[in-house]
């Protein structure tokens, strides 16, 4: 399995409980800060489950609570997405995928996450990682040019 394993990360957190639930359509997961419970929707695909669990573990990691402030809430959602993207998408796996595809859906399928998470990983990459990625992909172009 590519990238980090969110199930192993969950297991390491004995302060967080987990269950499956019937959530409203379109909602993949929930984090209950008070009870420290992660709920994931039943019937998700493997990639959706991985992505949603990574995201909710981000909330658990940051100790997020739902506030009455929309700006704070959306900042928490963004931070949880970035946490999931970094946990689930290893830079070398992303580079391997980018070597054969530029389609977010194909890359997401390869990495077993949602296409949106691939976009977040690419958009919010550490500058050092971005330089590494560019170098790796440029090396490939040079290698391809060799007779």
**Which positions touch Zn ion (CB under 5 A)?**
77, 80
Using the minimum distance from each CB to Zn ion, give the nearer residue, 36 or 106.
36
Using the minimum distance from each CB to Zn ion, give the nearer residue, 80 or 107.
80
Quickly tell me which residue has 């409980």 as its tokens: 17
Using the minimum distance from each CB to Zn ion, give the nearer residue, 38 or 111.
38
DSSP annotation string for the chain? --S--HHHHHHH-TT-EEEEE-PPTT--EEEETTTTEEEEETT--HHHHHHHHHHHHHHHHHT----S-HHHHHHHHHHHHHHHHHHH--HHHHHHHHHH---HHHHHHHHTS-HHHHHHHHHT--HHHHHHHHHHHHHHHHHHH--
CB of residue 80 to Zn ion, shortest distance in Å? 5
Using the minimum distance from each CB to Zn ion, give the nearer residue, 33 or 138.
33
CB of residue 33 to Zn ion, shortest distance in Å? 11
CB of residue 95 to Zn ion, shortest distance in Å? 28
CB of residue 145 to Zn ion, shortest distance in Å? 44
């Amino acid at each position: 399995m590519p990238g980090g394993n969110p199930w192993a990360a969950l297991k390491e957190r004995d302060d967080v409980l987990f269950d499956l639930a019937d959530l409203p359509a379109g909602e993949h997961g929930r984090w209950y800060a008070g009870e420290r419970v992660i709920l994931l929707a039943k019937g998700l695909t493997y990639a959706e489950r991985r992505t949603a669990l990574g995201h909710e573990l981000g909330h658990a990691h940051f100790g997020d609570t739902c506030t009455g402030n929309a700006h704070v809430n959306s900042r928490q959602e963004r931070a949880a997405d970035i946490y999931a993207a970094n946990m689930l998408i290893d830079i070398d796996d992303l580079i391997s995928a980018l070597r054969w595809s530029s389609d977010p859906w194909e890359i997401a399928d390869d990495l077993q996450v949602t296409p949106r998470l691939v976009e977040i990983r690419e958009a919010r990459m550490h500058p050092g990682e971005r330089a590494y990625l560019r170098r790796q992909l440029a090396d490939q172009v040079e290698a391809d040019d060799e007779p």
